[in-house]
Amino acid sequence: MKRRRSQRSARSTKGFESPRGALGSGWRDRAITAAWVLVPLLSVPAVLLGMLWIQWRSSIDQRLAEWKTAYRFSDDIVRQIRRIELDFHGSGNIFTTPIARTPPESLVHHQQMAQLLDKPMREKFINDLNSGRWNH
């Protein structure tokens, strides 16, 4: 014969949970669920912003490398021009870059960079920038 459990023992263990455990478990479960939802949603814009910033920096690096070979810039001049470029064009932050500039401001910017060069290279550099050769 099979023995049956007494109803008293079945009733006492069924669904017994402390009130503190139930509250802590519910809050913890909601926090974990929110993390599973929010982390992927927030990581996508962060990755996209990072990619835009890297693209901005690489375009400046590429332009400076082309100028370095075309005008025989020293590393010191490249560092100074990079600082001038970042001050004028911005740092790559999509909320503040690109900065709209007027043609006179651009001309002053070009002359500011050209001041770092010797006289013959300065004139060639200014002519190339103003002619649109460098799409700057």
Residue 1 has pLDDT above 60, yes or no: no
Residue 9 has pLDDT above 80, yes or no: no
Supply the pLDDT for residue 62: 94
Q: Does 7 reside within a domain?
A: no
Q: How many domains does the chain divide into? A: 1
121 to each of 5, 64, 67, 111, how far by Cα in Å? 100, 15, 11, 12
Supply the pLDDT for residue 113: 93
Give me the helix-helix angle, 19-71 and 75-89, nearest 10°.
120
Q: Does 121 reside within a domain?
A: yes
Report the distance separating Cα 23 and Cα 18, nearest Å.
9
Give the amino acid at 95.
Answer: F
Q: Does 6 reside within a domain?
A: no
Q: Does 127 reside within a domain?
A: yes
Confidence (pTM): 0.65
- Mean pLDDT along residues 49-67: 92
- Range(s) of the domain holding residue 105: 16-131
SS3 for 63-122 is HHHHHHHHHCCCHHHHHHHHHHHHHHHCCCCCCCCCCCCCHHHHHHHHHHHHCCCCHHHH
Tens-digit pLDDT profile for residues 62-113: 999 999 999 989 999 999 999 999 888 887 777 776 677 888 998 899 999 9
SS3 category, 2: coil
Supply the pLDDT for residue 24: 54
Residue 36 has pLDDT above 90, yes or no: yes
Q: Does 110 reside within a domain?
A: yes
Chain mean pLDDT for the chain: 83
Q: Does 98 reside within a domain?
A: yes
* Weakest-pLDDT range from 11-15, 48-52, 93-97: 11-15
- Mean pLDDT along residues 43-47: 94
Q: Does 2 reside within a domain?
A: no
Q: Which residues contact 130 (CB under 8 A, 6 or more apart)?
A: 107, 110
Supply the pLDDT for residue 66: 93
Q: Does 3 reside within a domain?
A: no
Q: Which residues contact 113 (CB under 8 A, 6 or more apart)?
A: 81, 84, 85, 125, 129
Neighbours of 95 (CB within 10 A): 6
